[in-house]
Amino acid sequence: MSAKMPNRPVDSTLSPSDRPTILLIEDDAAVRESLALLLDSHGFRVLTAENGQRGLAIFRRQSPSVVVTDIMMPEQDGIGTMLQMRRERPDVKIIAISGGGRVDKADYLSIAEKLGAVAAFEKTQVNALIEMLETMLKSRP
């Protein structure tokens, strides 16, 4: 995660309970921790899960504003997780991220968008991810 950090944070004067909640589902612990710290520094309340199964459990209990999910994960991948979340809450906003895998990461990201992700980014595109989250959540009451 060597990308330059965006400098337009969400209103940092909000109390933790008033901050928009992001559920981050990522199996790589280092990436998960880095992204969680970055999102937190931009004013988001961040919940994390290491795979789709754990992410679904948190999703059902916490009702996050947005879900950011990796696509390739053990236990349950991001595509299956997205489909289940959409069945349970059709209006859920999901952003897919990918670092690649057995196939070109662009293919995974394209599939995620076709299945309902509002956006899809490579994991290194942190500026674009933050900007998308801020745009999606700025009209939040």
56-104, pLDDT tens digit by residue? 999 999 999 999 999 888 888 889 999 999 999 999 999 999 876 555 5
Per-residue model confidence (pLDDT) at position 69:
95
Which of the listed CATH numbers 3.40.50.2300, 1.20.140.10, 3.40.1000.10, 1.20.990.10 matches domain 16-137? 3.40.50.2300
Supply 4's token pair.
């330059």
- Say how many CA atoms lie within 13 Å of 25 toward its Cβ: 31
Please check whether residue 137 is in contact with residue 10, taking contact to mean a CB–CB distance below 8 angstroms.
yes
Whether 4 shows a pLDDT value over 50: the answer reads no
Q: Which of 68, 50, 60 is nearest to 126 (CA)?
A: 68
